[in-house]
Structure 1
C-alpha cells in the first residue's frame, strides 16, 4: 500500500483542468471529482482490481481509499466513472456497435487460378483516388479516439517527469504517435 500512496502523491493532476474542461458543457450541473476519479482509477489498477463497478463501491465505502483519491463530499457513483471514461475516449460508441452487429459477407475462392507471382485484379477500381481526393480536400476523417488520453498523459505525467528531470536531456528525446494533431504540444 505504501507504493500506491507514493504513486498518488507523485501524480500531479493540476494540469488536468485544461484537458478536461472542454469535454463538459458550460451550463448545467458542474463536473466534480474528475481528478479524484482519475486518482481512483490509478489506485484501482495498482490494487489489481479490474472491475470499475466493484471499485467504485469499495472506494466509497473505505475511508482510506476515499481520502487517497481526494474526493470532496460524497464519493462519485459508478456512472461517474463510466461517464468520464466515455468523455476521455472520443470515439462514437454507436459506430462501434454498428460495426460489431454487421453481418460479414462471405468471400468465395477466386474462380480462375493465378500463375506464380500474379495478383488478383482489384474488385473496385478508384478507391485510392477517392481517398486521395478526400485527403486533399480535408474531408478525410481523423480517427484518433485516444487523443484526449494522450493529452492527459502528456500534461500530467510527461510534463511532470520532465520538470523533475527524470526524462534526461529533452533534446535527445524521440516520440512516436499516429495522430495528425500532436497531443504532446
Structure 2
C-alpha cells in the first residue's frame, strides 16, 4: 500500500513537472520580446495553419498583424517568420557562413537514407557545399541573360493556350508546363 502511494506520488510529480516544462517552452518568444500569435497547447500554431483556407494567407495576415519578424510554434518548437527582405539578405547572403544548418524533419531524414542527396534534402555541410556550388548559377547577370529565353518560352505557351480554351474541353496543363520548363 505504501509502495503504491509512493509510486503514484512520483508519477504525479513527473506529470506536473512535464506540464510546467511544456508550458514554459511557449514563453520562448515572450522572453525575447518577439510578437506572434498565441499558441495552443500541444499544437502550437500549426492547428491554426491547418484549419486556414490558405496557410500562406494566414501567414500574410499574421505578418500584417505582428510585423515583418514574428514567432510561431510548430508544436513546442519555436520558428521565426521573416518577411523583411533586408534581414533575409543579411542572413542568407552576407552572414551565410553562420547559418549553414537547416531544420530537419522526418521527411528529410527518410530521404537522406538513400545515396541520391540533392539540394532540397541535403543537410549540414553537404547542403552548404551544394549551395555554394549552385549559387553562381543564379546570379543577377545570369538571370538577366536568361530572361529573353524565358520570355520566348512563355510567349509560345500563351500562343497555344487559346487553342485549348476554344475547345471547351478539359486538358492536362501539366504537359504544357513540362514543355515550358524544359
TM-score class, shorter-chain normalisation, is under 0.3
Normalised by the length of structure 2, the TM-score is 0.25
Decide which structure has greater strand share.
2
Higher helix share: 2
The structure whose RCO (Cα within 8 Å, separation 6+) is larger is 1
* TM-score normalised by length of structure 1: 0.24
